[in-house]
Chains A and B, each alone.
Chain A
Amino acid sequence: MSGPISRGFRGLRRTPAGAEGRVPPGQYVTDDFPVLSAGPTPHTPLDQWTFSITQGGETEKSWTWGELQGLPAETVTRDIHCVTRWSKLDTEWRGVSVDTLLDQAGGDAPYVLAFCDGGYTTNLPIEDVTGGQAWVAFSYDGGPLESEHGGPARLLVPHLYFWKSAKWVRGLDLRDENEPGFWETYGYHMYGDPWKEQRYAGD
């Protein structure tokens, strides 16, 4: 559905050459890396940091920072899309595939709720965090992931709006029901496909 013409508006149309088809509707490309979060940036010392797969109140498996670093890691280059409308192309991350973590933890469920330092949560179908689509990323652009961007580690699920790539992630809770996380409770979309512009509930 397109709306009325905005008198005198032409727009900058600055999608870089060659990037046509890579920028979802309603997004613009930025070279910056904007920061968005709902509260203060948490700082958990690495010697107290763990990543856990939980289900039904039980911890299926937990890794220390050192143990996570010892798992096979992958370097991936992906485009990312924030619901606030910036997209950033060819971002380079290094992290452990969620497939690897789930394989080691066992357990199965149709949904996961990512949980984080600071109390942030976000919900995802398990099929969106498996099959080589999601990572626990601890490195960005060749260096450690800065805390304001979610370090020491954040979830990376680049095919969904970036609020699903939870900052300061500490684990995944396997769930039978698709329960809304933090932003989803406040009216954002339960799934968040940027190509369908699923920004808000009902989109």
Chain B
Amino acid sequence: MKLRAFGPLLAVVGALAVGALFIAAVGKNPLAVYGRMALGVFGNAYGIGQVLFRATPLVFTGLAVALGFRAGLFNIGAEGQLVMGAFACGVVGATFRDLPGVLLLPLTIASGMAAGALWALPPAWLKAKVGAHEVINTIMMNFIALALVQYLGHFAFVPATVHTAEIGAGARIARFEAFLPIFRGSPVNLSLVLAVGVALLVGWVLFRTRFGYELRAVGLSPSAAEYAGIDVPRTWILALCISGAIAGLVGANFVQGYKGYFESGFSSGIGFLGIAVALLARNHPIGVVVASLFFAALGYGGLVINTEVPKELVEILQAIVILFAITLHVVIERWLRRRA
């Protein structure tokens, strides 16, 4: 068991080593660049605030992907689900702006979850009923979401912009700076607490409830689960819709905690990065939180060193972590099997 935990760690080290080659290729000293990156990210409260802010949506999408994986489903559709969720968040938060916060806040959050779940439903239903591969269908739903939001934007966006109207004050989620002056200027907000809460909840459901047990059983072997009397299609539909609902929570961080409105094109791949997070975390909810912090630190670190090395370096690193992680996973599993 201990050895397995080294896989993700080695993947990170391997990716950083490849990154060093890129840095050297543009004529810079890798160690110095990495050093300045670490200092810029962790050396001050603003940097830490940025990391926490960037980690929040990754926790949601990482959990969404991890939960799907646990049920044996590959949810590549978190990107579309979070876009639909955030869009619903923005529209509902603005439409019912005059409601008191005690109603508007939960309503807005719930609308994001509902839209995310709804967007996961067609692939889930098709998987359960006709066995259509969820990977292709969730990819298709991503693109349909982008086109649909673009279309609905003609009606929902403030004229001549690509964003919705401002949501009501009651729907806003407070920033840390409101009560922790050290985070002044940073957009990190209480959605982070929500994200950690959801991670704990997912962990509890997965490992402490009957439904979680059934979900994992289906993920390990659908046919064995079926013989054990578990309703496999129902479990698949529920798992993927819950996964979509969690992805839909990204709107809480961006719309309710940061901008105050939905803006087209805000995501830029948070859903796909969620896959990297889940892989690195080996689909464990607590691991998801840790991996999100790592990817967020890397993402902000890219901005810190952008004047020396193009910040796209970290995009390459994040992707290479994926390739290393899946390769090392297989290598370690095979080695363990041989030794056993």
Asked if A and B bind, the verdict is: no
